[in-house]
A and B are shown apart, each in its own frame.
Chain A
């Protein structure tokens, strides 16, 4: 609750403290150059002439009604813009998140199993290196190699413009455009899951009940699958849930490199053109989803891990 209040207050205050009047962008010229009457008319039209407390109350009232305001720049309701962009963003980020989690958990398990051996050291080194790659640079490099040099993938967008496709062809086109941003995002995000899984499984393997399983004569494979990995996956599941919240925000830099019509790039465009309502709307949706994901993680955890449940009852 507190987080939401702070976020909505910040949300409202920040864009308004920014230098540069939105009129500059609205009129396409410096506001000083406009006739005074025109300026006043524009300001009244967008509610900018009222004192800021009035603007704030209007903003909060609108929020409760699900109204996020109207974008000056795009001449469209903010909620409308967010909804159309959200689909693309979620397609990209959630797919990447799922792939990254699977890859990270798998490799993390391998590394923890061979802890200290060449495989572990090598994998950890490689993952750390990949995590150090700037996402936007990786994207640029992939475009340069696979799109420009080899001509395998399109360089920008989510669908081929000015061509209407239907059914299977449309789907193929979407996947074709999705490939490179997806690879970029998956690559830069899987190492953190890898490190979590590795640390968590290493811890689990040291627990007494694993030694009990071993002394019962169970095979290593069985111990891994039945006992260790199941429990070691808990932190990974938590991180996955938390990241779902951030997934809504999209990946601003990756979307910018690929001109992908997602929410992250829209936020960036909104900042550049001082589009207050759009900025606020996106930021609010982001914060809301992060808070929701936190709540979900809190609720899921006792269900996934019975130890927490019994702990609470004490």
Chain B
């Protein structure tokens, strides 16, 4: 599909043509990456320290339902009397887990498929890339809704769905990079010197592709968190493992946003989702401009 390769003149995509331009970008953007890491670091602490930070168990009915915030319940209670603050803190674990784990699977499968397709070429290449095209064209959210409804709302199924629908983009990006590198003079020189496929793959190709995959991981994590939240909001999340999206699902189902309760029931989980996605997006953008030769100026 020609649209997926936007720029017809590829003279400036050669990663080695502008070595001197690499440094200024590195200095210009890390502020964003730092801010992103700080946000994610705080969220990670919250996720890891959930048992000590949260005042109650998220599943325990601790008080009357629909309580406004008080000294005992900083963010009030939900429709069955669970402490919303504790739900939020424990939800951090689930949301981050789904986001990072599915991103890991997405970028790993993308890396493997992209390298194999790009390096082997031939029918393996055409088969996997046709498949990638199909996956890329299918409407993402409607399909994940269908799949989530079919497979059943469960943490591992959600991760599986996100991976099944997400591998195509990194695979395509990795493949085109592999194709570029494979044709570079120094790789040909290595081959002429008698280097084995294994050596070329590890020493030259993987080395050049890993930064791209890292960026893909960060971007996949940011979109995975957002999509998990959307699915959970539609009632397709894991009911036994409450994530931020699940909290919002119950808030919507009980029409919390039509009452004053939206301030403590709807606002906080949404802000946390935004912060997590924003944190990953900041890092992703900062490193995309470093790792993606097309954006480097």
Q: Do A and B bind each other?
A: yes
Which residues on A sit within 8 Å (CB–CB) of B285? Answer: 124, 128, 195
A148 touching B234 by the CB < 8 A rule? no
Which residues on B sit within 8 Å (CB–CB) of A3? Answer: 133-134, 137-138
A129 touching B278 by the CB < 8 A rule? yes
Interface residues of B in 204-228 (CB under 8 A from A): 222, 226
B138 touching A134 by the CB < 8 A rule? no
Among residues of B, the one whose C-beta sits closest to the C-beta of A264 is B142
B150 within 8 A of A: yes
With both chains docked as a complex, state the minimum distance between the C-beta of A112 and any C-beta of chain B, in angstroms. 10
Interface residues of A in 135-150 (CB under 8 A from B): 135-138, 140-141, 143-144, 148
With both chains docked as a complex, state the minimum distance between the C-beta of A79 and any C-beta of chain B, in angstroms. 18
A298 touching B142 by the CB < 8 A rule? no
A116 touching B28 by the CB < 8 A rule? yes
A101 within 8 A of B: no
Q: In the complex, what distance in Å separates the CA atom of A256 from the CA atom of B138? A: 21
Cβ-defined partner of A132 (8 Å) among B139, B226, B294: B226
Q: In the complex, what distance in Å separates the CA atom of A238 from the CA atom of B2? A: 11
Q: In the complex, what distance in Å separates the CA atom of A249 from the CA atom of B133? A: 19
B142 touching A286 by the CB < 8 A rule? yes
Which residues on B sit within 8 Å (CB–CB) of A116? Answer: 28
B3 touching A238 by the CB < 8 A rule? yes
B1 within 8 A of A: yes
With A19-B152, A257-B252, A283-B146 already in contact, the answer to whether A294 and B1 are too (CB < 8 A) is yes
Q: In the complex, what distance in Å separates the CA atom of A14 from the CA atom of B144? A: 11
**27 A-B contact pairs sorted by A residue (CB < 8 Å):** A2-B130, A124-B285, A125-B32, A134-B230, A134-B245, A136-B230, A136-B248, A140-B257, A140-B266, A143-B257, A199-B294, A206-B12, A235-B6, A253-B141, A271-B146, A272-B149, A272-B235, A282-B142, A287-B138, A290-B139, A291-B137, A294-B3, A298-B2, A298-B3, A307-B8, A308-B8, A311-B8
With A252-B145, A253-B234, A256-B234 already in contact, the answer to whether A134 and B226 are too (CB < 8 A) is yes
Q: In the complex, what distance in Å separates the CA atom of A283 from the CA atom of B12? A: 40
Known: A3-B134, A235-B6. 13 other contacts (CB 8 A): A14-B146, A133-B270, A134-B248, A134-B270, A140-B257, A144-B262, A199-B294, A203-B295, A206-B12, A249-B141, A271-B146, A272-B149, A283-B139
Q: In the complex, what distance in Å separates the CA atom of A253 from the CA atom of B143? A: 13
B233 within 8 A of A: yes
Q: In the complex, what distance in Å separates the CA atom of A132 from the CA atom of B282? A: 10
**Interface positions of A (Cβ within 8 A of B):** 2-3, 6-7, 10, 14-15, 17-19, 115-116, 121, 124-125, 128-129, 131-138, 140-141, 143-144, 148, 155, 195, 199, 202-203, 206, 234-235, 238, 242, 246, 249, 252-253, 256-257, 264, 267-268, 271-272, 279, 282-283, 286-287, 290-291, 294, 297-298, 301, 305, 307-308, 311
Among residues of A, the one whose C-beta sits closest to the C-beta of B279 is A132
Cβ-defined partner of A301 (8 Å) among B3, B150, B258, B277: B3
With both chains docked as a complex, state the minimum distance between the C-beta of A121 and any C-beta of chain B, in angstroms. 8
With A19-B152, A283-B146 already in contact, the answer to whether A134 and B233 are too (CB < 8 A) is yes
With both chains docked as a complex, state the minimum distance between the C-beta of A143 and any C-beta of chain B, in angstroms. 6
With both chains docked as a complex, state the minimum distance between the C-beta of B168 and any C-beta of chain A, in angstroms. 12
B178 within 8 A of A: no
B278 touching A128 by the CB < 8 A rule? yes
Which residues on B sit within 8 Å (CB–CB) of A131? Answer: 277, 281
B270 touching A18 by the CB < 8 A rule? no
Among residues of B, the one whose C-beta sits closest to the C-beta of A238 is B3
Q: In the complex, what distance in Å separates the CA atom of A138 from the CA atom of B277? A: 14
B141 touching A252 by the CB < 8 A rule? yes
With both chains docked as a complex, state the minimum distance between the C-beta of A274 and any C-beta of chain B, in angstroms. 8
With both chains docked as a complex, state the minimum distance between the C-beta of B223 and any C-beta of chain A, in angstroms. 10
Which residues on A sit within 8 Å (CB–CB) of B266? Answer: 137, 140-141, 144
A252 touching B233 by the CB < 8 A rule? no
Which residues on A sit within 8 Å (CB–CB) of B297? Answer: 115, 202-203, 206
Among residues of A, the one whose C-beta sits closest to the C-beta of B25 is A116
With both chains docked as a complex, state the minimum distance between the C-beta of A126 and any C-beta of chain B, in angstroms. 11
C-beta contact mask, B266-283 vs A, less than 8 Å → 1, else 0? 110110011101100110
Cβ-defined partner of B278 (8 Å) among A132, A298, A301: A132
Which residues on B sit within 8 Å (CB–CB) of A307? Answer: 8-9
Q: In the complex, what distance in Å separates the CA atom of A282 from the CA atom of B152? A: 21
C-beta contact mask, B21-34 vs A, less than 8 Å → 1, else 0? 00000001001100
Interface residues of B in 178-218 (CB under 8 A from A): none
C-beta contact mask, B61-85 vs A, less than 8 Å → 1, else 0? 0000000000000000000000000
With both chains docked as a complex, state the minimum distance between the C-beta of B291 and any C-beta of chain A, in angstroms. 14
Among residues of A, the one whose C-beta sits closest to the C-beta of B230 is A253
Which residues on B sit within 8 Å (CB–CB) of A138? Answer: 270
B44 within 8 A of A: no
Q: In the complex, what distance in Å separates the CA atom of A264 from the CA atom of B257? A: 21
B274 touching A6 by the CB < 8 A rule? no
A155 touching B278 by the CB < 8 A rule? no
Q: In the complex, what distance in Å separates the CA atom of A233 from the CA atom of B145? A: 33
Q: In the complex, what distance in Å separates the CA atom of A15 from the CA atom of B278? A: 35
